[in-house]
Every structure is written in structure tokens, then in C-alpha cells.
Structure 1
Amino acid sequence: MFSDREDVLFSDLHLKEDTFYFLYVGEIKADCLNQFVSETLGKIHGGRFECISIVPDVMESYPHRNILVINSLARNLYTRTSRKYSCRMKAGEFAGEVSRSATVRRLAEMLIARQGRLYIHVYESLPQLELAQMPGAFLLGPEGSVASIWNNKLYQLQMLSGQVPLMDYRICRNVQELYSSVESVSPEWTEGIFVSRPYSAAGVNSFIIRSPGELLDKEPLNQDTYFISRYVPHDLDPTVLGVVGNEDDVFIAAIADQEIENGNSFRGSAFPSSLSHKEQSEVREHARMVGRALGRSGYRGIFGCDFIVDHQGRIFFVEVNARKQGTTMEMCCTLENALPKDTPSLMEMEYHAVVHNRLPPGRQEIKEAIQGLCWRTYNFKVDREVVTNYFLPMDEDERDLFRQVRQEGVQHKMIIVEHPGHQRCVMPGSFLGRVVAVATNREDMDRDISLGKFMLQESITIRE
């Protein structure tokens, strides 16, 4: 009914009369969170809620029905080559395409007329998602313009100065200032210099250099604002997930350790953190201070906060992720298996933060590592174009892995999720898949991650 081939690559809609629907707009990597959103909406409003997911991911198989795929880049590549490509879109461009889609707008209008209101769940709130401004639509996430401002690294540094421990940094208004600043600080910043544009994530738009000469190897550089900061040698990169209800009400979920490759490229996380109890307490309170600053600016919802801990145990703030981040699903599952049954989930907390300007009663923070529960993730990205030889299907739900290890006596389990399928071209910078391992001990968990990485590597051929 809604499959308009001008703007939708794939449509699998099958709506039921006795069910309420909400939309999810974002990459497939966060689609798993929608089961928690469904339960939250059903608990609060009564009735059965299901998700219609609008994603840019071109895959052979999806985890459920009611999927719409919008990706003009993949469409154009297919038109030119007759090959099915897995390729990432910039988040803002995807949000804009979704909002302009006649198919999506007809669907939203129909659901609003049928239900009276339409909740829209997002991985990241963006100003380009004008769909959320339709009468009767309600965004389950922070307001897009506020989130966008906070994702600017320069804004973060300026707003958090004096509130959390920052590394030495300099702002460079153009490339010429960048070169001169690097020359100026290099005699003192001997361990390295971190260079970044204001908006960067997972290693994109940032890099580390050891000398001014290495900056020449990065040309051509955009005529843009940059900032540089002193690189601090360290062993641990803790990440914290929290929820802002208001400036006085910030929930901290848990702390995990990030796996960083090449100095600044995020590849996954592991729980429990290897930080000492004292270090974890300090990191939690720094993150809470960040959450309060977010709250004062009107931010409501889930956020992430990254730090480093140097060899002397000193903690430094790295960045805020004013959105959900890579550990959100695992944090949801951790809280579900560590806390009493009726404790609000992270998705329920975000709902109350956005709708009621406060967090719900009954929430509990976990202060310690959970005995007998470890998890680790690994995001397998490709750095060159590859072709998949076969499909690695997801045979279990990630949430079930946690339940089996925590409640059913299973020693360890691993799954590979979000593999694009058989004979797919995967573009550089795109995900080939994600490995999730849950275990009662670190040794089994690490072995399972290695196995998953091997399986993903074996599933591809590098295109010449």
C-alpha cells in the first residue's frame, strides 16, 4: 500500500487492527531497543504497541516485519552497477530523506488519524527530522536543535570548563591557525596531539599526530574550524550511559570500557569496567555533572559520556554523545538482569524525561560490577570495499543471551548481528556486522569475541 518506489528501497508493512504503532528512525544497530520502547508504551498507555522501523540499512534479512528502507546512496549505486550495496548515510541526510518521503508522510498521517498521536523513537535527535514536527507526532528523544548544539565538541569544552577535568586544548579558526598552533604546542605536547573538527565521532573527522610534519600527510584539510588537545597516554577509555530528567535529576546507568583502535576509532565496549571502585565513583560523578549541564540547557533523554584514565589514575573528560550510544542495548539488558522486575528501563526513563520533564519513581542505579555477568561487543567495520560470500544470520535475540547467562545457567553465548547478507557489496566505513558476547567470565567472553571476528572476516572477499 505504501511502497512508493521513488523514495523507498524496501517495504514490508503489515499492520494489525488491534495494535498501536510507533516509528523508529535510525540505523538498524539500535532497532533492538524498540522492544523496550514497545513495553514502555504498553505499560504507560495500555494496549499493544509495535514498531515500524525506517532504516537506511540494505540487508538480506531484517529482525522483524514492518521495515521501510530509505537510502538514496544505495539506490544510486544499484542503478549504476546493478549491485546491492551496504553503505552508510550521514545521519542528517538520512533524517532529511525520511522527512521528505511521501511514503513516510502518508504512513504517519494515516497512523495519527487512526491513533490520535504517533510516537517517533530515534537513535539520534536531529534538526533535519522535520517529520517529528507534524501535528500529532511526539519525539521520544531530546529536542533536535539542543542535541545538535551539544554534539559540537567546541561547545562541550566551553560549557564544561571548570566542571569536569579537561585536557589542554586550543581552538583553531582555520587551517592556517591549525598549522601554527601545532607548531607552537609540539615542543610541550611531546606524547602527541589530537586534532578534531567540531563534529566528529568514532574516528571520523579526527586523528592523532606525533609531530607537525605528520599534519602535512593529512592534506588536503578542509577550510574549517578545528581544535587540538594534548594526547594523554592511557590504558582505559571508560564510557558512561545516563538519562537526563532535568538539571537536578540525572540517572547514571553503568560504566563500560571502550575498545579503541588507532588511538581514536571506537570498535566496541566491555563490562564490567576494569576501573577501581574509586575511579568508577569519580567517573560517575563527572558524568552526573555533565548530565546536569545538559539539563540546564533543556536537554532531556539518554546521553553518553566518554573519559580516559591515564597511567597515574587521573581522569580526563573526552566528549559527550548527546544521543544514544553503542552500549545502550547492553546497558538496558544489564539493568534488566541486575535490578528488581518492576524497575523502570532506560527507555521508560527517557519517555518520562521527554514527556514529563522528570525521571519516573522506582529507578535504581547499580554501583558495583554484577557477579557472574560479563559482556563485550565488537563493531566490525571495513576500511575498503568488500563483497560478502555468504550470510551470517542472527539466530537469537541479544536480550535472550543476557537472560540465558544470568538466569538459566548458561556459561557463555555469542551472536553476530546486522550482517548484510549474501553477495552484498559493503562500502568502506560501513558495518559488516557486530559481535555480542555474554558470559559469566572474561575468558569465555574474549574467546567468543575472537571467534565472531574470525567468522565475519571469513565471510568477505576484498574487491580489487
Structure 2
Amino acid sequence: MDEDDVFFSDIKLDPAVSYFLYIGELKSDCLNQFVKETLAKIHGQPFDFISILPDVLESYPHKNTLVINPMARQLYRAKGRKVSFRIAPREFASLVSASTTVNDLVRELLDRQGHVFIHVFESVPELTLALIPGVRILGPSGHIANIWNNKLYQLQMLKGTAPLIDYRVCRDAELMLETARDLWAQWPDGIFVSQPYSAAGVNSFLAHSQEDIENKAAHLKGKFFISRYVPHLDDPTVLGVVANATDVFIGAIADQEIQDGNKFRGSTFPSALAPPKQEELREITRKIGQVMGRSGYRGIFGCDFIVDAQGRIFFVEVNARKQGTTMEMCCTLENALPPETPGLLELEYHAVMHDRFPENKVEISDALNNICWRTYNYKLDEEAETNQIVPLDEDERDLFRQVRDGSQTHGVIVVEHVGGKLAVQPGTFLGRVVAVGQTRAQLEDDIREGVQRLKESIFDALKTSNLSPSGKNDHADGN
């Protein structure tokens, strides 16, 4: 083992089991149980997974975890304690692809199995392990996903397909400021400023004055596009799977909670939008997926929209990856569809491997009568220190099943908590709250309870900021 690139490892392989790799953040590690079941079902043999994570935690949720994080090792040596922080997906993919330990593991699995599947939250070109013969990413091509995550490319490719908001492209900050100055009379409600690659409030912002733009864009370089801000009531998101140029599966629609115009805090299902409006969203998303399919995209994607007071739908963006609530979408479909019906991860497998869906796929046309859920992503905007772990009380899939069958009417869990006695840097997930109930009314109090558990896991000196899920100073802004 190369000690320079490994922060933690507890890998012990069973010779009777085939393994796939998960490469990504802990927030999507929960999806591996669905991938594991999909591979066992399709290949008729036992599968398990090895998680390769960047996350620094007090302890890890399951065996066969490998943590690649050179900076964490350096911080641990310097500070004498663990420090939890986020690594950009592309940087992490580069670290994993260059890791001697990971490459040795891939070679060992290829010798044992003849092939290795890799499950990812987001495909990126920097994950060059995909170039090794016998290795297959269970998701879209990193290069194609990278193209589709370019917001300017989306706008250009989806003209005539999606209802776009009026926008302007600017080659640099100087032209962007000049262009914005001339548009305030036409766009009095605000101007949304973004760069081609932006996510979770990074490299994008909502401005309400020219001075606002000048203050917030001073440090940004490169190309921009600016668009008219549309006051709106709803921020729906639609999850789907692309199999080819015509076949697009639409999973479910949820309502996002967005802060400051572009910061994602969580989602609520089912959407509060009227059924005809939801059907319109489904068909727009299907057409977008078909455009993506013609470009070679295969796998899960998401589309974000806004709906104004007049009921008009406007396209916001494509996320050419899984969404932050993909786990909840998987649990929703698992409880809404017949037992033998393929779920999201099985559909993605067939899309990637065969360019088609299984014949027995079924979409849900209406929300379930007895399952509602809400999520809340809890991030810190200043450094904190945890004093205790927030334990996972029960498995998320079990919580969904128990609410569905009526053995409990509602419940809340905190997942992916970093643990106790860690320094947590700004921008890092402290944990995620998931509430499930038979009615939407039950979810608000449950989310507050989960947030309170997270607040109690950090030292008192750092609890002075308002971290209420309905307050203006929330610090949860990532998908």
C-alpha cells in the first residue's frame, strides 16, 4: 500500500464475491446497495462494492472502504486530529486515477473477475481508470457529461426544445458588466450571472443592482452569460434516465428549496404543482433527454425548472449526473412500482450497457398516496468542531417501507454525519436530514428535529448562527 495516498483502508475481499468500485463522495455511497442488487440480478452471482471516498469521518459506515485524500493526511499530521473538508470532483477523480493503491486494486480485480464496473455520482474526464481495458463506468461518458454540464452548451443545444429565459453571452467580465448596465431597464427584477461551469452557488449569483454585480464578479475570470431573473413560486426538479435518442425514462418530480436564487438546500416530494403542470414538465424533460441521447449521453440526469405566478415554465439547467436526492427517488420508485419492475440504477445499467431499457420498465404517472418526503442538506459556512456523532437510527429504505405499510406514520433520520471530535471546514456537509411521512404536513417538524440533532453535534460557541431550515441564514447550499 502507498501510504502517501491512502488516509484509511479496511479492504478484505471474499473470493466468492465479485466487486464493483464506487468512486465519489459519501453522499451517494447509499446508492451502492441498489447497484449491488442490480448486478447480482443481471449477472446471477453475488456482488459487493468497494467505496473509494475523499470524505474524512470519525468512522465509516461499512467494510471495504478506501479513503484517498493526501491533504487530509497532511492536516492530520499538522493538527493532530482529523479535519473534514470537501474535494472538488475533478480533483478527486485525478487523485484516484493516479493512486498506486487504486490501480493495484483494479489490476487485482481484473485478474480475479475479468472486468470491473465503476459506479459514480458524476462522470468526469479526469477519471482515467475508465480507459483501462475491462473497466466500465456505470454512467455516462465523462467527456460527454462534461460537455453537457457546460451551461452555455445547454442553452445553445436546447433552443426550440426547452422554454429558455432571455440571456446574453459575454466573453469576459468587462463586457458582462457593460452588457448588464444596459439591461436593467428591461430586466428590473434582477440579473442572474453565471459562468459556463457552475454548481451549488459557485461561479453564479443573483444580482439586484449594478453595484451588486461589480462586487460579486470582481474575482471571476473567463466567459459569462447573464439572464433575466424571473420572479417565481416553484423550483421543480425532474429526474430521468437516457437510454438512446428516443427512449427517456422519467422518474419523479420534486420541489426544490432554493436560497438566494441559486443555492440548493433540499427537496420535497411529491411536488405541489398541479398534475397538468407536472405532465408538462415530464414531457419537456423527455425532449431534453432525447437531445442528450442524440449526443451519446447514456444514464441518469436531472432538469431544474422554475414556474412563475402565471404558471409559465422556464428551463434553468441540466445536471448531467445524479441528483442530490437520487436515493430518495430510488426509494420512491421501489415503493411505488411492482417488485420486478426495474429501478433507476437498473435502468441506468441497461442504458449504459445496451442502449435500451428493459421491456418491463414502468413510469409512475401520479404521486403515491401515502409517501411524502423532504430532505435538508446541512453545510457549514464557518469552521466548526464536532463533539459527538449523530447516529443513524434506521436504514433509509426501511423508513420508506415502514411509512408505506403504515407501521409508522412518519419518521426522520440524519444520514452521512461526519462524526465526533473532527474539525469541519466551511463548505463541508455536516450531515443530511431525511424526513418521510404519509402527509407533507408531518415533514416540517421532522426536518426541524433532524436539524436540531445536527446543531447539537457541534460545540456551543459555533451554534450562534441561525441554522433553522426556514430561516434566511441557512448554510445548506449544495446538491
Question: Could you state the TM-score of these two structures normalised by the residue count of structure 1?
Answer: 0.98
Among candidates 224, 227, 232, match of residue 225 of structure 2:
227
Q: 1:445 aligns with which of 419, 432, 443?
A: 443
Alignment map for 1:145-156 (pairs within 5 Å): 145-156=143-154
Q: Provide the rounded CA distance (Å) in 1 between the counterparts of 2:57 and 2:35.
A: 23
**What is the match of residue 174 of structure 1?**
172
Counterparts in 2 of 1:52-67, with a 5 A limit?
Answer: 52-67=50-65
Q: Residues of 2 paired with 1:234 and 1:409: CA distance?
A: 38
**Counterpart AA for 2:371:** L
User: 1:219 Cα deviation (Å)?
Assistant: 4.7
Corresponding residue to 1:396 among 381, 394, 397 = 394
| 1:254 paired residue number | 252
Counterpart for residue 467 of structure 2 = none
Q: Distance between the aligned counterparts of 1:225 and 1:25, measured in 2?
A: 31
Q: What are the Cα deviations for residues 116-157 of structure 1, in whole angstroms up to 9, with x where unaligned?
A: 110011100010000111111111000000000000000000
Partner of residue 77, structure 1: 75
SS in structure 2 opposite 1:270?
strand
Among residues 425, 428, 438, which one is paired with 2:426 in the alignment?
428
55-64 or 29-38, which deviates more: 55-64
Distance 1:12 1:147 in 2: 32
Partner Cα separation in structure 1 for residue 407 and residue 182 of structure 2: 58
Instruction: Show the counterpart of 1:350.
Output: 348
Shift in Å at residue 395 of structure 1? 2.6
Q: What does 1:367-406 correspond to in 2, within 5 Å?
A: 367-406=365-404
Shift in Å at residue 238 of structure 1? 0.3
Deviations 1:97-129 (A, max 9, x none): 000000000011000100111001110001000
Question: 1:411·1:440 contact (CA, 8 Å) conserved in 2?
Answer: yes
Shift of 1:60: 1.2
Counterpart contact for 1:73–1:89, Cα < 8 Å: no
| Partner of residue 240, structure 1 | 238
Provide the rounded CA distance (Å) in 2 between the counterparts of 1:398 and 1:224: 42
What are the superposed Cα offsets for residues 73-119 of structure 1, whole Å, 9 maximum, x if unpaired? 32232233223111000100000000000000001100010011100
Which residue, out of 100, 104, 107, partners 2:105?
Answer: 107
Letter in 2 for 1:93: E
Moved more, 21-30 or 221-230: 221-230
1:325 to 312, 323, 326: 323
Shift of 1:408: 4.4
Out of 219-228 and 13-22, give the one that drifted further: 219-228
Residue 129 (structure 1) aligns with: 127
CA distance in 2, matches of 1:229, 1:163: 18
RMSD: 1.2
Tell me how far apart the structure 1 counterparts of residues 382 and 288 of structure 2 sit (CA, whole Å).
37
Distance 1:259 1:349 in 2: 27
Secondary structure, aligned partner of 1:319:
strand
Please say which of residues 453-462 and 108-117 is displaced more in the overlay.
Answer: 453-462
Match of 1:88 in 2: 86
Whole-Å separation in 2 of the counterparts to 1:183 and 1:76: 46
In structure 2, the residue matched to 1:119 is: 117
Letter in 1 for 2:415: V
Q: Stretches of 4+ moved more than 4 A in 1?
A: none
Structure 1 contact 241–305 (Cα < 8 Å) conserved = yes
Instruction: Confirm whether residue 19 of structure 1 aligns to residue 4 of structure 2.
Output: no
Does the 8 A contact of 2:195 with 2:225 survive in 1?
Answer: yes
Distance 2:77 2:315 in 1: 45
Deviation at 1:400, TM superposition (A): 1.0
1:341-375 CA-to-partner distances (Å, cap 9, x unmatched) read: 00001111000000001111111111111101100
Counterpart residue number, 1:263: 261
Assess if the C-alpha contact under 8 Å between 2:173 and 2:217 holds in 1.
no
The one-letter amino acid paired with 1:364 is V
Q: Is the 8 A contact 1:426 1:432 kept in 2?
A: yes
3-state SS of 2:74 partner: helix
Aligned to 2:27: 29
Deviation at 1:315, TM superposition (A): 0.2
- State the Cα deviation string for residues 281-321 of structure 1 (Å, max 9, x = none): 11111100110010000000000000000111100000000
